[in-house]
Structure 1
Protein backbone atom coordinates (compact mmCIF):
# COMPACT_ATOMS: atom_id res chain seq x y z
CA UNK A 1 0.00 0.00 0.00
CA UNK A 2 1.07 3.59 -0.62
CA UNK A 3 0.50 6.54 1.72
CA UNK A 4 -0.06 9.41 -0.72
CA UNK A 5 -0.16 12.14 1.94
CA UNK A 6 2.23 12.37 4.89
CA UNK A 7 3.71 15.43 6.62
CA UNK A 8 6.96 13.80 7.74
CA UNK A 9 8.63 17.19 8.16
CA UNK A 10 6.13 18.16 10.86
CA UNK A 11 7.67 18.98 14.24
CA UNK A 12 5.83 16.02 15.78
CA UNK A 13 8.18 13.73 13.83
CA UNK A 14 11.35 15.70 14.49
CA UNK A 15 12.94 13.18 16.85
CA UNK A 16 12.02 9.83 15.30
CA UNK A 17 11.64 10.12 11.52
CA UNK A 18 13.71 7.00 10.87
CA UNK A 19 11.67 4.97 13.34
CA UNK A 20 8.43 6.23 11.80
CA UNK A 21 9.58 5.15 8.34
CA UNK A 22 10.73 1.76 9.63
CA UNK A 23 7.35 1.16 11.32
CA UNK A 24 5.66 2.04 8.04
CA UNK A 25 7.82 -0.49 6.19
CA UNK A 26 7.10 -3.13 8.83
CA UNK A 27 3.36 -2.47 8.46
CA UNK A 28 3.48 -3.16 4.73
CA UNK A 29 3.52 0.43 3.45
CA UNK A 30 5.65 0.24 0.30
CA UNK A 31 5.98 3.95 -0.52
CA UNK A 32 5.44 7.35 1.06
CA UNK A 33 4.58 10.65 -0.62
CA UNK A 34 5.77 13.49 1.63
CA UNK A 35 3.63 16.60 1.34
CA UNK A 36 5.07 20.04 0.60
CA UNK A 37 2.92 22.87 1.96
CA UNK A 38 5.05 25.97 1.37
CA UNK A 39 8.39 26.68 -0.28
CA UNK A 40 10.47 25.86 2.78
CA UNK A 41 8.50 22.71 3.61
CA UNK A 42 8.58 21.59 -0.01
CA UNK A 43 12.38 21.89 -0.05
CA UNK A 44 12.56 20.04 3.26
CA UNK A 45 10.25 17.28 1.99
CA UNK A 46 12.40 16.81 -1.13
CA UNK A 47 15.51 16.57 1.03
CA UNK A 48 13.85 14.10 3.40
CA UNK A 49 12.71 11.91 0.52
CA UNK A 50 16.34 11.55 -0.60
CA UNK A 51 17.06 9.65 2.62
CA UNK A 52 14.94 6.73 1.41
CA UNK A 53 15.41 6.55 -2.37
CA UNK A 54 12.77 4.52 -4.14
CA UNK A 55 10.66 4.45 -0.97
CA UNK A 56 9.95 8.12 -0.16
CA UNK A 57 8.90 10.75 -2.69
CA UNK A 58 7.59 14.29 -2.26
CA UNK A 59 5.38 17.05 -3.60
CA UNK A 60 6.24 20.73 -4.01
CA UNK A 61 3.61 23.41 -3.58
CA UNK A 62 2.08 26.25 -1.60
CA UNK A 63 -0.98 25.45 0.51
CA UNK A 64 -3.82 27.99 0.46
CA UNK A 65 -3.05 28.86 4.09
CA UNK A 66 0.32 30.21 2.87
CA UNK A 67 -0.90 31.75 -0.39
CA UNK A 68 -0.44 35.26 0.99
CA UNK A 69 3.31 34.72 0.62
CA UNK A 70 3.08 33.83 -3.09
CA UNK A 71 5.06 36.21 -5.28
CA UNK A 72 6.82 36.39 -8.62
CA UNK A 73 9.67 34.21 -7.35
CA UNK A 74 7.48 31.41 -5.98
CA UNK A 75 6.77 29.67 -9.28
CA UNK A 76 10.47 29.62 -10.17
CA UNK A 77 11.35 28.15 -6.77
CA UNK A 78 8.80 25.36 -7.29
CA UNK A 79 9.99 24.83 -10.88
CA UNK A 80 13.53 24.28 -9.59
CA UNK A 81 12.34 21.90 -6.88
CA UNK A 82 10.35 19.92 -9.43
CA UNK A 83 13.51 19.15 -11.39
CA UNK A 84 14.51 16.76 -8.61
CA UNK A 85 13.43 13.22 -9.54
CA UNK A 86 11.89 12.42 -6.15
CA UNK A 87 9.44 15.36 -6.50
CA UNK A 88 6.48 13.67 -8.17
CA UNK A 89 3.66 16.27 -8.01
CA UNK A 90 2.85 19.95 -7.65
CA UNK A 91 0.97 20.78 -4.46
CA UNK A 92 -0.45 20.81 -1.88
CA UNK A 93 -2.38 23.61 -3.54
CA UNK A 94 -5.99 24.69 -3.77
CA UNK A 95 -8.51 26.74 -1.81
CA UNK A 96 -9.53 26.90 1.84
CA UNK A 97 -12.44 29.24 2.54
CA UNK A 98 -13.06 27.67 5.95
CA UNK A 99 -10.26 29.37 7.83
CA UNK A 100 -9.14 32.04 5.35
CA UNK A 101 -5.58 32.24 6.69
CA UNK A 102 -4.80 33.90 3.37
CA UNK A 103 -7.13 36.33 1.56
CA UNK A 104 -9.28 34.57 -1.01
CA UNK A 105 -7.90 36.52 -4.00
CA UNK A 106 -4.38 35.49 -2.94
CA UNK A 107 -5.49 31.86 -2.63
CA UNK A 108 -7.01 31.91 -6.10
CA UNK A 109 -3.93 33.54 -7.64
CA UNK A 110 -1.53 31.03 -6.06
CA UNK A 111 -3.75 28.10 -7.01
CA UNK A 112 -4.04 29.20 -10.63
CA UNK A 113 -0.31 29.82 -10.89
CA UNK A 114 0.46 26.32 -9.60
CA UNK A 115 -1.99 24.74 -12.03
CA UNK A 116 -0.24 26.59 -14.84
CA UNK A 117 3.14 25.37 -13.58
CA UNK A 118 1.94 21.76 -13.32
CA UNK A 119 0.62 21.92 -16.87
CA UNK A 120 3.93 23.36 -18.08
CA UNK A 121 5.97 20.67 -16.31
CA UNK A 122 3.45 17.91 -16.99
CA UNK A 123 3.24 16.97 -13.32
CA UNK A 124 0.10 15.79 -11.53
CA UNK A 125 -1.38 18.05 -8.87
CA UNK A 126 -2.03 17.27 -5.21
CA UNK A 127 -5.07 19.33 -4.27
CA UNK A 128 -6.76 20.82 -1.20
CA UNK A 129 -10.34 22.08 -1.05
CA UNK A 130 -12.30 23.08 2.03
CA UNK A 131 -15.57 24.99 1.93
CA UNK A 132 -14.65 26.33 -1.51
CA UNK A 133 -16.00 23.73 -3.93
CA UNK A 134 -17.61 26.01 -6.52
CA UNK A 135 -14.58 28.28 -6.95
CA UNK A 136 -12.21 25.31 -6.75
CA UNK A 137 -13.97 23.61 -9.66
CA UNK A 138 -14.25 26.85 -11.64
CA UNK A 139 -10.50 27.48 -11.42
CA UNK A 140 -9.46 23.85 -11.94
CA UNK A 141 -11.74 22.81 -14.80
CA UNK A 142 -10.00 24.80 -17.57
CA UNK A 143 -6.69 23.12 -16.72
CA UNK A 144 -7.84 19.50 -16.46
CA UNK A 145 -7.25 18.70 -20.14
CA UNK A 146 -3.68 19.99 -19.80
CA UNK A 147 -2.77 18.10 -16.60
CA UNK A 148 -1.54 14.49 -16.48
CA UNK A 149 -3.59 13.93 -13.31
CA UNK A 150 -5.18 15.58 -10.28
CA UNK A 151 -5.99 14.11 -6.88
CA UNK A 152 -8.18 15.83 -4.31
CA UNK A 153 -6.40 14.92 -1.10
CA UNK A 154 -8.34 14.23 2.12
CA UNK A 155 -11.78 14.41 0.51
CA UNK A 156 -14.53 15.27 3.03
CA UNK A 157 -17.18 16.76 0.73
CA UNK A 158 -20.79 15.79 0.13
CA UNK A 159 -22.33 13.54 -2.49
CA UNK A 160 -22.92 16.26 -5.07
CA UNK A 161 -19.34 17.47 -4.69
CA UNK A 162 -17.98 13.94 -5.09
CA UNK A 163 -20.04 13.41 -8.23
CA UNK A 164 -18.79 16.68 -9.70
CA UNK A 165 -15.17 15.88 -8.82
CA UNK A 166 -15.42 12.46 -10.45
CA UNK A 167 -17.08 13.93 -13.54
CA UNK A 168 -14.21 16.41 -13.76
CA UNK A 169 -11.73 13.53 -13.80
CA UNK A 170 -10.27 13.87 -10.33
CA UNK A 171 -8.78 11.09 -8.28
CA UNK A 172 -9.92 11.02 -4.65
CA UNK A 173 -7.71 10.62 -1.58
CA UNK A 174 -9.37 9.15 1.52
CA UNK A 175 -7.92 9.38 5.03
CA UNK A 176 -8.78 8.08 8.49
CA UNK A 177 -11.69 10.52 8.47
CA UNK A 178 -13.70 7.42 7.50
CA UNK A 179 -12.80 5.88 10.87
CA UNK A 180 -14.87 8.50 12.73
CA UNK A 181 -18.51 7.44 12.84
CA UNK A 182 -19.51 10.98 13.87
CA UNK A 183 -17.66 13.49 11.68
CA UNK A 184 -17.04 10.94 8.95
CA UNK A 185 -20.59 9.63 8.59
CA UNK A 186 -21.22 11.25 5.21
CA UNK A 187 -17.86 10.19 3.79
CA UNK A 188 -18.39 6.62 5.00
CA UNK A 189 -21.56 6.48 2.91
CA UNK A 190 -19.80 7.92 -0.16
CA UNK A 191 -16.66 5.75 -0.22
CA UNK A 192 -18.38 2.93 -2.18
CA UNK A 193 -19.18 5.43 -4.96
CA UNK A 194 -15.50 6.08 -5.77
CA UNK A 195 -14.56 3.82 -8.70
CA UNK A 196 -11.56 1.55 -8.48
CA UNK A 197 -8.83 3.33 -10.40
CA UNK A 198 -9.79 6.72 -8.98
CA UNK A 199 -9.32 5.98 -5.25
CA UNK A 200 -6.11 6.44 -3.26
CA UNK A 201 -5.46 6.10 0.47
CA UNK A 202 -3.51 8.29 2.86
CA UNK A 203 -2.93 9.11 6.52
CA UNK A 204 -2.27 12.89 6.42
CA UNK A 205 -0.07 12.10 9.42
CA UNK A 206 0.52 13.43 12.01
CA UNK A 207 -3.06 14.67 11.66
CA UNK A 208 -6.33 12.71 11.58
CA UNK A 209 -5.47 9.83 13.88
CA UNK A 210 -8.20 7.22 13.24
CA UNK A 211 -10.76 7.65 16.01
CA UNK A 212 -11.43 3.92 16.31
CA UNK A 213 -7.76 2.91 16.48
CA UNK A 214 -7.09 0.63 19.43
CA UNK A 215 -4.94 0.94 21.40
CA UNK A 216 -4.56 4.65 20.78
CA UNK A 217 -1.02 6.07 20.90
CA UNK A 218 -0.42 8.23 23.96
CA UNK A 219 0.72 11.13 21.79
CA UNK A 220 -2.45 11.12 19.64
CA UNK A 221 -0.06 11.37 16.69
CA UNK A 222 -1.05 9.67 13.46
CA UNK A 223 1.66 7.93 11.42
CA UNK A 224 1.90 5.91 8.20
CA UNK A 225 2.08 2.60 10.07
CA UNK A 226 -1.65 3.08 10.72
CA UNK A 227 -2.47 3.03 7.00
CA UNK A 228 -3.46 -0.68 7.13
CA UNK A 229 -6.14 0.20 9.70
CA UNK A 230 -7.51 2.92 7.42
CA UNK A 231 -7.39 0.58 4.42
CA UNK A 232 -9.32 -2.11 6.31
CA UNK A 233 -12.02 0.40 7.21
CA UNK A 234 -12.32 1.59 3.61
CA UNK A 235 -12.50 -1.99 2.31
CA UNK A 236 -15.24 -2.82 4.82
CA UNK A 237 -17.26 0.22 3.76
CA UNK A 238 -16.85 -0.71 0.09
CA UNK A 239 -17.73 -4.34 0.70
CA UNK A 240 -14.56 -5.64 -0.90
CA UNK A 241 -11.68 -7.79 0.40
CA UNK A 242 -8.77 -5.79 1.80
CA UNK A 243 -6.35 -7.40 -0.65
CA UNK A 244 -8.52 -6.27 -3.55
CA UNK A 245 -8.64 -2.69 -2.24
CA UNK A 246 -4.88 -2.66 -1.73
CA UNK A 247 -4.25 -4.01 -5.23
CA UNK A 248 -6.21 -1.34 -7.06
CA UNK A 249 -5.23 1.61 -4.83
CA UNK A 250 -1.58 0.58 -5.09
CA UNK A 251 -1.72 0.34 -8.89
CA UNK A 252 -3.57 3.65 -9.12
CA UNK A 253 -1.08 5.47 -6.92
CA UNK A 254 2.01 4.06 -8.64
CA UNK A 255 0.65 5.05 -12.05
CA UNK A 256 -0.65 8.48 -10.97
CA UNK A 257 2.67 9.57 -9.44
CA UNK A 258 4.73 7.63 -12.06
CA UNK A 259 6.73 6.06 -9.28
CA UNK A 260 8.18 3.38 -11.50
CA UNK A 261 9.73 6.08 -13.70
CA UNK A 262 11.67 7.74 -10.84
CA UNK A 263 15.40 6.94 -11.19
CA UNK A 264 17.02 5.46 -8.09
Structure 2
Protein backbone atom coordinates (compact mmCIF):
# COMPACT_ATOMS: atom_id res chain seq x y z
CA UNK A 1 0.00 0.00 0.00
CA UNK A 2 1.02 3.59 -0.64
CA UNK A 3 -0.46 5.94 1.95
CA UNK A 4 -0.59 9.72 2.31
CA UNK A 5 -0.95 11.27 5.77
CA UNK A 6 -2.77 14.53 5.08
CA UNK A 7 -2.27 15.94 8.59
CA UNK A 8 0.82 15.40 10.75
CA UNK A 9 2.12 17.98 13.21
CA UNK A 10 5.74 17.04 12.59
CA UNK A 11 7.04 20.40 13.84
CA UNK A 12 5.86 19.49 17.35
CA UNK A 13 8.70 19.52 19.85
CA UNK A 14 8.02 15.89 20.82
CA UNK A 15 9.62 14.96 17.49
CA UNK A 16 12.73 17.08 17.94
CA UNK A 17 14.87 14.21 19.25
CA UNK A 18 13.95 11.56 16.67
CA UNK A 19 12.23 13.20 13.68
CA UNK A 20 14.37 11.36 11.11
CA UNK A 21 13.56 8.03 12.74
CA UNK A 22 9.86 8.92 12.73
CA UNK A 23 10.04 9.55 8.99
CA UNK A 24 11.86 6.30 8.42
CA UNK A 25 9.26 4.32 10.38
CA UNK A 26 6.53 5.98 8.34
CA UNK A 27 8.22 4.98 5.07
CA UNK A 28 8.55 1.40 6.32
CA UNK A 29 4.79 1.40 7.05
CA UNK A 30 3.93 2.50 3.49
CA UNK A 31 3.46 6.23 4.12
CA UNK A 32 5.00 7.70 0.97
CA UNK A 33 4.00 11.35 1.45
CA UNK A 34 2.87 13.56 4.31
CA UNK A 35 1.34 17.02 4.65
CA UNK A 36 2.89 18.79 7.63
CA UNK A 37 0.32 20.92 9.40
CA UNK A 38 1.10 24.59 9.90
CA UNK A 39 -1.18 25.69 12.73
CA UNK A 40 0.38 28.81 14.22
CA UNK A 41 2.53 31.81 13.47
CA UNK A 42 5.49 29.93 14.95
CA UNK A 43 4.97 26.52 13.37
CA UNK A 44 3.81 27.36 9.83
CA UNK A 45 7.32 28.51 8.79
CA UNK A 46 8.75 25.38 10.40
CA UNK A 47 6.34 23.24 8.36
CA UNK A 48 7.59 24.89 5.18
CA UNK A 49 11.22 24.31 6.20
CA UNK A 50 10.53 20.63 6.75
CA UNK A 51 8.84 20.35 3.36
CA UNK A 52 11.78 22.05 1.67
CA UNK A 53 14.19 19.65 3.39
CA UNK A 54 12.26 16.61 2.09
CA UNK A 55 11.14 17.45 -1.46
CA UNK A 56 8.35 15.36 -2.99
CA UNK A 57 7.87 13.55 0.34
CA UNK A 58 6.80 16.27 2.76
CA UNK A 59 4.49 19.17 1.97
CA UNK A 60 3.12 21.90 4.23
CA UNK A 61 0.08 23.93 5.08
CA UNK A 62 0.22 27.50 6.41
CA UNK A 63 -2.35 28.86 8.79
CA UNK A 64 -3.37 29.71 12.32
CA UNK A 65 -5.49 27.27 14.34
CA UNK A 66 -8.41 28.82 16.27
CA UNK A 67 -6.53 28.11 19.51
CA UNK A 68 -4.01 30.75 18.36
CA UNK A 69 -6.50 33.16 16.80
CA UNK A 70 -5.56 35.93 19.24
CA UNK A 71 -2.14 36.14 17.53
CA UNK A 72 -3.69 36.80 14.12
CA UNK A 73 -2.61 40.37 13.42
CA UNK A 74 -2.14 42.18 10.12
CA UNK A 75 1.53 41.23 10.32
CA UNK A 76 0.59 37.59 10.84
CA UNK A 77 -1.71 37.76 7.82
CA UNK A 78 1.16 39.07 5.69
CA UNK A 79 3.38 36.24 6.93
CA UNK A 80 0.80 33.60 6.00
CA UNK A 81 0.42 35.11 2.52
CA UNK A 82 4.19 34.99 2.02
CA UNK A 83 4.33 31.35 3.10
CA UNK A 84 1.49 30.41 0.75
CA UNK A 85 3.44 31.78 -2.21
CA UNK A 86 5.74 28.75 -1.91
CA UNK A 87 4.89 25.71 -4.02
CA UNK A 88 5.66 23.38 -1.12
CA UNK A 89 2.76 24.93 0.82
CA UNK A 90 -0.26 23.10 -0.58
CA UNK A 91 -3.16 24.40 1.55
CA UNK A 92 -4.46 27.34 3.55
CA UNK A 93 -4.89 26.45 7.21
CA UNK A 94 -5.22 24.85 9.66
CA UNK A 95 -7.98 27.38 10.26
CA UNK A 96 -11.52 27.36 11.54
CA UNK A 97 -13.39 27.48 14.84
CA UNK A 98 -13.05 25.61 18.14
CA UNK A 99 -15.72 26.34 20.74
CA UNK A 100 -14.78 23.25 22.76
CA UNK A 101 -11.59 24.71 24.19
CA UNK A 102 -12.12 28.45 23.57
CA UNK A 103 -8.39 29.08 24.00
CA UNK A 104 -8.98 32.29 22.00
CA UNK A 105 -12.14 34.41 22.34
CA UNK A 106 -14.82 33.47 19.84
CA UNK A 107 -14.87 36.88 18.10
CA UNK A 108 -11.11 36.56 17.56
CA UNK A 109 -11.60 33.05 16.19
CA UNK A 110 -14.21 34.21 13.71
CA UNK A 111 -12.06 37.15 12.57
CA UNK A 112 -8.95 34.98 12.05
CA UNK A 113 -11.02 32.40 10.17
CA UNK A 114 -12.51 35.01 7.85
CA UNK A 115 -9.10 36.54 7.16
CA UNK A 116 -7.65 33.18 6.22
CA UNK A 117 -10.61 32.40 3.98
CA UNK A 118 -9.89 35.70 2.24
CA UNK A 119 -6.32 34.51 1.67
CA UNK A 120 -7.73 31.41 0.01
CA UNK A 121 -9.89 33.60 -2.23
CA UNK A 122 -6.94 35.78 -3.12
CA UNK A 123 -4.65 32.86 -4.00
CA UNK A 124 -7.20 31.89 -6.61
CA UNK A 125 -6.99 35.27 -8.34
CA UNK A 126 -3.38 34.79 -9.45
CA UNK A 127 -3.33 31.01 -9.87
CA UNK A 128 -5.42 27.97 -9.07
CA UNK A 129 -6.90 28.45 -5.61
CA UNK A 130 -5.11 26.53 -2.90
CA UNK A 131 -7.40 24.20 -0.98
CA UNK A 132 -8.47 24.76 2.61
CA UNK A 133 -7.42 22.66 5.59
CA UNK A 134 -10.24 23.27 8.08
CA UNK A 135 -10.83 22.70 11.78
CA UNK A 136 -14.24 22.67 13.46
CA UNK A 137 -15.19 21.53 16.92
CA UNK A 138 -18.46 22.35 18.67
CA UNK A 139 -18.94 25.34 16.34
CA UNK A 140 -20.77 23.84 13.37
CA UNK A 141 -23.43 26.51 12.85
CA UNK A 142 -21.03 29.47 12.95
CA UNK A 143 -18.51 27.53 10.86
CA UNK A 144 -21.03 26.82 8.10
CA UNK A 145 -22.36 30.39 8.20
CA UNK A 146 -18.89 31.88 7.74
CA UNK A 147 -18.06 29.47 4.93
CA UNK A 148 -21.34 30.38 3.24
CA UNK A 149 -20.26 34.03 3.12
CA UNK A 150 -17.40 32.95 0.83
CA UNK A 151 -19.46 30.55 -1.27
CA UNK A 152 -18.42 30.35 -4.91
CA UNK A 153 -15.05 31.99 -4.28
CA UNK A 154 -13.12 29.18 -2.60
CA UNK A 155 -11.28 26.16 -3.91
CA UNK A 156 -11.74 22.66 -2.47
CA UNK A 157 -11.89 22.20 1.30
CA UNK A 158 -11.26 19.35 3.71
CA UNK A 159 -12.76 19.25 7.20
CA UNK A 160 -9.74 17.79 8.94
CA UNK A 161 -10.11 15.32 11.84
CA UNK A 162 -13.88 15.03 11.47
CA UNK A 163 -15.51 14.00 14.76
CA UNK A 164 -19.02 15.36 14.35
CA UNK A 165 -22.55 14.05 14.06
CA UNK A 166 -24.37 12.46 11.13
CA UNK A 167 -26.13 15.77 10.46
CA UNK A 168 -22.82 17.63 10.42
CA UNK A 169 -21.26 15.06 8.11
CA UNK A 170 -24.01 15.37 5.54
CA UNK A 171 -23.95 19.17 5.81
CA UNK A 172 -20.27 18.98 4.84
CA UNK A 173 -20.84 16.49 2.04
CA UNK A 174 -23.75 18.55 0.67
CA UNK A 175 -21.28 21.44 0.30
CA UNK A 176 -18.77 19.25 -1.59
CA UNK A 177 -16.24 19.35 1.24
CA UNK A 178 -13.81 16.51 1.78
CA UNK A 179 -13.53 14.65 5.07
CA UNK A 180 -10.36 13.73 6.98
CA UNK A 181 -10.56 10.71 9.28
CA UNK A 182 -8.06 10.16 12.11
CA UNK A 183 -7.50 7.66 14.90
CA UNK A 184 -10.50 9.21 16.65
CA UNK A 185 -12.29 6.43 14.77
CA UNK A 186 -10.49 3.95 17.03
CA UNK A 187 -11.60 5.53 20.32
CA UNK A 188 -14.38 3.44 21.83
CA UNK A 189 -15.22 6.24 24.27
CA UNK A 190 -15.68 9.12 21.81
CA UNK A 191 -15.44 7.83 18.25
CA UNK A 192 -17.76 4.85 18.13
CA UNK A 193 -20.36 6.76 16.09
CA UNK A 194 -17.80 7.27 13.32
CA UNK A 195 -17.68 3.52 12.69
CA UNK A 196 -21.09 3.79 11.05
CA UNK A 197 -20.72 7.27 9.55
CA UNK A 198 -17.62 6.50 7.48
CA UNK A 199 -19.69 4.16 5.32
CA UNK A 200 -21.51 7.22 3.95
CA UNK A 201 -18.43 9.14 2.80
CA UNK A 202 -17.84 8.81 -0.96
CA UNK A 203 -14.43 7.37 -1.76
CA UNK A 204 -13.42 10.47 -3.73
CA UNK A 205 -14.10 12.72 -0.71
CA UNK A 206 -12.40 10.61 1.99
CA UNK A 207 -8.82 11.12 3.19
CA UNK A 208 -6.86 9.74 6.12
CA UNK A 209 -4.53 11.37 8.64
CA UNK A 210 -2.88 10.75 11.98
CA UNK A 211 -2.86 14.30 13.43
CA UNK A 212 0.37 13.13 15.08
CA UNK A 213 1.52 13.49 17.80
CA UNK A 214 -2.12 13.61 18.95
CA UNK A 215 -4.81 10.91 18.80
CA UNK A 216 -2.77 7.73 19.05
CA UNK A 217 -5.24 5.00 17.94
CA UNK A 218 -6.43 3.21 21.06
CA UNK A 219 -6.74 -0.05 19.14
CA UNK A 220 -3.02 -0.37 18.32
CA UNK A 221 -1.68 -3.68 19.66
CA UNK A 222 0.63 -4.07 21.37
CA UNK A 223 -0.06 -0.69 22.90
CA UNK A 224 3.08 1.48 22.88
CA UNK A 225 4.55 2.51 26.20
CA UNK A 226 3.98 6.19 25.34
CA UNK A 227 0.97 8.16 24.08
CA UNK A 228 2.70 9.89 21.16
CA UNK A 229 1.10 9.24 17.79
CA UNK A 230 3.22 9.20 14.65
CA UNK A 231 2.63 8.74 10.92
CA UNK A 232 3.53 5.03 10.87
CA UNK A 233 0.18 4.37 12.59
CA UNK A 234 -1.68 5.59 9.49
CA UNK A 235 -1.54 1.99 8.27
CA UNK A 236 -3.48 0.94 11.36
CA UNK A 237 -6.10 3.64 10.83
CA UNK A 238 -6.69 2.62 7.22
CA UNK A 239 -7.15 -1.02 8.30
CA UNK A 240 -9.81 0.00 10.82
CA UNK A 241 -11.45 2.29 8.27
CA UNK A 242 -11.56 -0.42 5.61
CA UNK A 243 -13.18 -2.85 8.03
CA UNK A 244 -15.86 -0.32 8.95
CA UNK A 245 -16.55 0.46 5.28
CA UNK A 246 -16.68 -3.21 4.32
CA UNK A 247 -13.82 -2.83 1.83
CA UNK A 248 -10.52 -4.53 1.18
CA UNK A 249 -7.82 -2.47 2.85
CA UNK A 250 -5.97 -2.12 -0.47
CA UNK A 251 -9.06 -0.51 -2.00
CA UNK A 252 -9.54 1.94 0.86
CA UNK A 253 -5.85 2.85 0.81
CA UNK A 254 -5.68 3.32 -2.96
CA UNK A 255 -8.81 5.49 -3.02
CA UNK A 256 -7.67 7.67 -0.11
CA UNK A 257 -4.24 8.14 -1.67
CA UNK A 258 -5.69 9.06 -5.07
CA UNK A 259 -8.09 11.50 -3.44
CA UNK A 260 -5.33 13.17 -1.41
CA UNK A 261 -3.02 13.45 -4.39
CA UNK A 262 -5.73 15.09 -6.48
CA UNK A 263 -6.93 17.37 -3.66
CA UNK A 264 -3.48 18.78 -2.79
CA UNK A 265 -2.03 18.53 -6.29
CA UNK A 266 0.81 16.28 -5.11
CA UNK A 267 3.31 14.75 -7.52
CA UNK A 268 3.87 11.03 -7.70
CA UNK A 269 5.86 9.76 -4.74
Cα distance per residue 1:157-179 (max 9 Å; x no partner): 00000010100111000001111
Contact 1:144 1:168 in 2 (8 A): no
Partner residue, 1:7? 9
Distance 1:39 1:56 in 2: 19
Q: 8 Å contact 1:3–1:33 — kept in the other structure?
A: yes
**Unaligned runs of at least 5 residues, structure 1:** none
Q: Does structure 2 conserve the Cα–Cα contact (< 8 Å) formed by 1:199 and 1:252?
A: yes
Q: Distance in 1 between matches of 2:152 and 2:195?
A: 30
How many angstroms apart in 2 are the aligned matches of 1:182 and 1:98?
17
1:184 counterpart = 2:184: no
What secondary structure is seen at the aligned counterpart in 1 of 2:204?
coil
Tell me the residue number matched to 1:68.
70
1:152 to 134, 155, 159: 159
Contact 1:172 1:200 in 2 (8 A): yes
Match of 1:228 among 235, 238, 243: 235
Pick the aligned partner of 1:79 from 74, 81, 98: 81
Aligned mates of 1:216, 1:206 — CA distance in 2: 15
Does 2:208 match 1:201? yes
TM-score, normalising length: structure 2: 0.95
Paired residue for 1:28?
Answer: 30
TM-score, normalised on structure 1? 0.97
How is 1:30-109 mapped onto 2 (pairs within 5 angstroms)? 30-109=32-111
8 Å Cα contact 2:59-2:88 kept in structure 1:
yes
Deviation at 1:73, TM superposition (A): 1.5
Distance 2:238 2:59 in 1: 20
Q: Note the aligned Cα RMSD (angstroms).
A: 1.2
Counterparts of 1:145 and 1:32, CA distance in 2: 29
Structure 2 SS opposite 1:232:
helix
Does 1:251 find its partner at 2:258?
yes
- Structure 1 runs of 4+ off > 6 angstroms? none
- Offset at residue 119 of structure 1 (A): 1.4
Alignment gaps of 5+ in structure 2: 124-128
Task: Work out whether residues 41 and 71 of structure 2, in 8 Å CA contact, stay in contact via their aligned partners in 1.
Answer: no
213-222 or 58-67: bigger deviation = 213-222
Aligned length: 262
Quote the Cα distance in structure 2 between the aligned partners of 1:208 and 1:7: 11
